[in-house]
């Protein structure tokens, strides 16, 4: 049963697996005839959802080789979680002790609200460092055994063998994605001091949710993102939803331009996990996210651009990818505001830059998708209203 050809069936299967894991009882999942267990195992790794999708499979009568692979993945996932939780606690204690203003982000926080921390896998430990403490934070990381790898966008990556990854952020948002959200997250400290501490910061539940949605939207806009993000939404809202200040939340999401995106993703998360009947749009959106792994694919980087242009179909869509309209080009080439007649020159500069930065991967995404699917994907981006501006 192919993921791509049967998104609705995979919607039900993944939902059943996740709910069985959440229940933590003797629930046994009924797997449809013809299911390829190897495909489930491969997809679980691609989506970074090994424990959430594979743990219920150990209750089934599986071929020995398949069961062995499942058990090995679960052991690896459990060991990774134990190491990450321990490492995050060590960093937390060290930064507080050394007087470094810091804030644990994303996966480290989400792990604590899942029924079992193993169910929420994460590739790295993210921490925000405020003000002048960045160099001190690096010194602490090195003392704990982390080695600097590289600085990327708005964070520095560190590695501790054999597999721990630490990202130290100096900004909560990438200014190259959307200027409004960059201003929103970085103009003032949105976190508050955690009770009983002097240097440890945390978001309110509402602000954490806004940041979680903004982070998801960023990935979705740039390259697409996977269904683990939907699971995060569902788990968070199930735990905290009733107590959230809905008026405040609506206002903050609106400031970030994420009202429609959040509403549709929250609805899809509910439809998926609770086994409700999905609309055609929800099936298409879920299918696109199924195919996006966890952080999306480079080939998906074209669709946000396509959605900003009107009445695109077939060759017209491809033409507009190579020669975008002036309104889109102004985002990257501000001088076009004063000199719009230089649009052809901007196209040439963009082409040269694309060769240097691997734009061929994104172009292949346009060429390898048929006209009907192109329309469906562009329609997804249009309906989510991610009108980001650099």
Q: What is the pLDDT of residue 355?
A: 45
Q: What is the pLDDT along the chain (390 residues), one digit of tens a residue?
A: 455 568 899 999 999 999 998 987 777 888 887 788 999 999 999 999 999 999 999 999 899 999 999 999 999 999 999 999 999 999 999 999 999 999 999 999 999 999 999 999 999 999 999 877 788 999 999 999 999 999 988 899 999 999 999 999 999 998 888 889 999 998 777 899 999 999 999 999 999 999 999 999 999 998 889 999 999 999 999 999 999 999 999 999 999 999 999 999 999 999 999 999 999 999 999 999 998 877 656 566 666 666 566 555 555 556 566 666 666 656 666 766 776 766 676 666 666 665 445 555 555 554 555 555 777 888 898 999 998 887
Which domains, ranges and CATH numbers included, belong to the chain?
7-296 (3.30.460.40), 300-384 (no CATH)
> Tokens 């309906």 appear where?
383
| Contact predicate 2/31, CB 8 Å | no
First to last CA, the chain: 41
| Contact predicate 365/297, CB 8 Å | yes
Q: What is the pLDDT of residue 29?
A: 87
């Amino acid at each position: 049963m192919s993921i791509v050809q049967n998104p609705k069936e995979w919607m039900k299967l993944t939902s059943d697996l996740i709910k069985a894991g959440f229940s933590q009882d003797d629930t046994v999942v009924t797997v449809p005839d013809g299911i390829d267990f190897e495909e489930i195992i491969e997809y679980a790794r691609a989506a970074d959802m090994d424990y959430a999708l594979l743990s219920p499979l150990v209750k089934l009568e599986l071929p020995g080789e398949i069961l062995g692979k499942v058990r090995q993945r679960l052991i690896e996932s459990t060991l990774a979680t134990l190491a990450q939780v321990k490492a995050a606690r060590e960093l937390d204690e060290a930064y507080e002790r050394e007087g470094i203003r810091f804030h644990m982000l994303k996966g480290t926080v989400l792990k604590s609200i899942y029924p079992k921390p193993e169910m929420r896998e994460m590739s790295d430990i993210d921490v925000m460092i405020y003000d002048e403490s960045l160099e001190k934070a690096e010194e602490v990381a090195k003392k704990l055994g982390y080695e600097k790898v590289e600085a990327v966008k708005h964070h520095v990556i560190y590695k501790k063998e054999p597999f721990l990854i630490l990202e130290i952020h100096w900004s909560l948002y990438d200014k190259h994605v959307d200027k409004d959200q960059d201003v929103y997250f970085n103009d003032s400290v949105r976190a508050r001091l955690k009770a009983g501490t002097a240097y440890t910061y945390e978001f309110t539940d509402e602000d954490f949710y806004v940041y979680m949605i903004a982070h998801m939207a960023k990935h979705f806009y740039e390259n697409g993102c996977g269904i683990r993000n939907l699971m995060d939404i569902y788990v968070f809202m199930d735990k905290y939803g009733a107590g959230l200040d809905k008026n405040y939340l609506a206002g903050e999401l609106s400031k970030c331009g994420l009202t429609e995106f959040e509403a549709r993703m929250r609805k899809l998360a509910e439809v998926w996990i609770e086994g409700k009947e999905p609309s055609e749009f929800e099936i298409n959106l879920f299918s696109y996210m199924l195919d996006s792994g966890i952080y999306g694919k480079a080939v998906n980087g074209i669709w946000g651009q396509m959605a900003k242009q009107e009445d695109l179909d077939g060759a017209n869509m491809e033409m507009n990818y190579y020669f975008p309209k002036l309104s889109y080009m102004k985002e990257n080439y501000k001088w076009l505001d004063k000199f719009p007649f230089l649009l052809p020159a901007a196209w040439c500069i963009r082409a040269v830059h694309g060769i240097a930065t691997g734009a061929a991967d994104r172009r292949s995404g346009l060429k390898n998708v048929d006209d009907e699917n192109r329309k469906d994907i562009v329609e997804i981006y249009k309906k989510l209203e991610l009108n980001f501006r650099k």
